[in-house]
């Protein structure tokens, strides 16, 4: 079925490199979320889009993190000048209407910064 | 105090046992509540939404206590396949109701 897809599934970056993570949500889903999940932790909210509008970016840990969803469908999370503490799984989820409905998750991108 | 708190476990139970998890939340204005399940190295998937009147889905029962601000999940006749991490999720409440706040998860291991 056409679920949420993310690419790449795995990314290894050298400290200081820029990375871009892609999310393709379920077609027709208005809301899109990015989460960061460290080992043994629950997902930590990063940012939320409703269509192309970024309504909440309060979870982005620093100005090195930037997300966009220019046409209200595909979204990209960019991390500039990666640091070792950025190593985590980055999960993307979409839902019909955020906060009230089931969120469908992609498989995640496992980022390792050396 | 964290916004959503869960006992991380691990809970180790034999097959057939009944096990219960509790989760407390801090924002009294929260309106939506969920239990998600996450298998090792997999993405979270919705197990069940939690309604004010409580709800049951097969072996799983969820309850909401607004006065005490906690939700619970009861698993009866546990199976080996129930081994996973169970995540309590609560929406952000008035003015921020699109945002979901996630607990750290409770780890369950069902043993033969």
Residues in chain B whose Cβ is within 8 Å of chain A: 31-32, 34, 42-46, 49, 87, 91-92, 96-105
Nearest to B33 by CA among A29, A33, A101: A101
What pLDDT does residue A2 have? 80
Provide the terminal-to-terminal Cα distance of chain B, rounded to the nearest Å.
37
> CB–CB of B43 and A106 under 8 A?
yes
Averaged over A56-73, what is the pLDDT?
94
Averaged over A41-68, what is the pLDDT?
92
Q: How far apart are alpha carbons B41 and B14 in whole angstroms?
A: 23
- In chain B, which residues have their Cβ closer than 8 Å to the Cβ of A33? 100
Q: Which position has the higher pLDDT, B69 or A40?
A: B69
Which tokens is B61 given?
């029962």
Which residues in chain B show pLDDT less than 70? 1, 93-98
Closest chain B residue to A38, measured at CA: B104
Nearest to A94 by CA among A58, A48, A36: A48
- In chain A, which residues have their Cβ closer than 8 Å to the Cβ of B91? 99-100
What pLDDT does residue A98 have? 63
* E strands present in chain A: 5-7, 10-13, 19-24, 31-37, 44-50, 53-56, 65-68, 75-79, 88-95, 104-105, 109-113
**DSSP for B37-55, written as a single string:** EE-TTS--EEEEEE-TT-E
With tokens 């503490």, the residue in question is: A85
Mean pLDDT for chain A? Answer: 93
Convert the pLDDT of each residue in B74-84 to its tens digit.
999 999 999 99
What pLDDT does residue A102 have? 82
């Amino acid at each position: 079925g056409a679920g949420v897809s993310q690419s790449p599934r795995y990314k290894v970056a050298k400290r200081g490199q820029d990375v871009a993570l892609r999310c393709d949500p379920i077609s027709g889903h208005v809301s899109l979320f990015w989460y960061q999940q460290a080992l043994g932790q629950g997902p930590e909210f990063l940012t939320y889009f409703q269509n192309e509008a970024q309504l909440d970016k309060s979870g982005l840990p620093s100005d090195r993190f930037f997300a966009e969803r220019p046409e209200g469908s595909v979204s990209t999370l960019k991390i500039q000048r990666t640091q070792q503490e950025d190593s985590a799984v980055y999960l993307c989820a979409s839902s019909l209407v955020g906060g009230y409905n089931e969120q469908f998750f992609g498989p995640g991108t496992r980022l390792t910064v050396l | 105090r964290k916004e959503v708190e869960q006992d991380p476990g691990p809970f180790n139970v034999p097959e057939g046992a009944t096990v219960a998890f509790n989760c407390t939340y801090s924002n009294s204005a929260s309106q939506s509540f969920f239990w998600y399940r996450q298998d090792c190295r997999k993405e979270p998937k919705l197990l069940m939404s939690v309604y004010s009147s409580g709800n049951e889905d097969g072996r799983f029962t969820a309850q909401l206590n607004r006065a005490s601000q906690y939700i619970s999940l009861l698993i009866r006749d546990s199976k080996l396949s129930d081994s996973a991490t169970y995540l309590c999720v609560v929406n952000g409440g008035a003015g921020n109701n699109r945002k979901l706040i996630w607990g750290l998860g409770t780890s369950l291991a069902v043993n033969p």
